[in-house]
Structure 1
Amino acid sequence: MLVRMLLMWMLFCCLIGCSSSGPQLGTVEGSVMLDGDPLPGAVVSFRPVEGGRTAEGITDENGHFTIEFAAGAKGALLGEHEVRVTTFRERVIGDNGRVEDPGMPEKVPKKYNEESELIRTVKSGENHFDLELTSS
């Protein structure tokens, strides 16, 4: 009886694991340049045009980014995306009244974030997007 219950439990677990195929993602990486210089510390967001979860990444000191859909899941949903780039970070004041994070002003024009004109299509497999932005 115990063996049968154990076998049924294992079968149940296998069926649950096999049926939970997640969304189709394409890996996304690239770089962000602003006026020809790498843009470190910028948040790069891929928002699906047809709706769905936004995927994000943060640029390193060389302007390179890798997009993550969720913790441990690299990439973005397949299809067209509005791409937004922002450097703005709010100032954080701790409970003691001291500034814990001075924040960061926005360096990127609205046409690349709030009013983004950037559209990229994520395909199955690897995707590389270099974003050449201008401050004017």
Structure 2
Amino acid sequence: MSRFVPITLLILAGCGPTSQRPCAVEGEVVLDGKPLHAGTIQLFDPAGQLAGDGGTVADGRFAFSASAGPKRVEIRASKMMPGPVDSQGRPDVREYLPARYHDQSKLTVDIHPGGPNRLRFDLTSSDKP
């Protein structure tokens, strides 16, 4: 029985980095002065050591839980294009926000464990920052 005690202590103490409690995050996304109709928002650990957190944007508002710390932000919104579907029957869906808000995003935030974590992003559809 004594040889199981060290393993039990390791399990109770946790192995690896200290786990963080999720922090409430809420806010709004505005595009050209109007609430973003629908989209997604993702927060990523800049070091790539934690999984991303995120949620949906509906009528410009979002709310989800995220780990504390500095984050890189990606905001996406897409729409179905008129016209025929592809050879597999899928509609043509295209991202309509400039890449500077998602694939090339330099948006950052710092999520605080004690909050409040109320965020606002004012975006423009123009290709110019």
Q: TM (normalized to structure 2)?
A: 0.69
> Percent same amino acid at aligned positions?
26
Partner residue in 2 for 1:55 = 53
Contact 2:79 2:96 in 1 (8 A): no
Deviations 1:85-111 (A, max 9, x none): 0113799x8xxx544xx3642121111
Give the AA of the match of 2:123.
L
Gap runs ≥5 in structure 2: 1-7
1:87 is the counterpart of 2:85: no
- 1:107 is matched with 96
CA RMSD of aligned residues (A): 2.7
CA, structure 1 residues 59+119, in 2 after alignment: closer, same or farther (shift >3 Å)?
A: same
Rounded Cα–Cα distance in structure 1 between residues aligned with 2:20 and 2:33: 35
1:113-128 to 2 correspondences below 5 Å: 113-125=102-114, 126-128=116-118
- Cα drift, residue 82 of structure 1: 0.4
Q: Do 2:29 and 2:123's aligned partners in 1 also have CA atoms closer than 8 Å? A: yes
Shift of 1:65: 0.7
Match of 1:65 among 39, 62, 66: 62
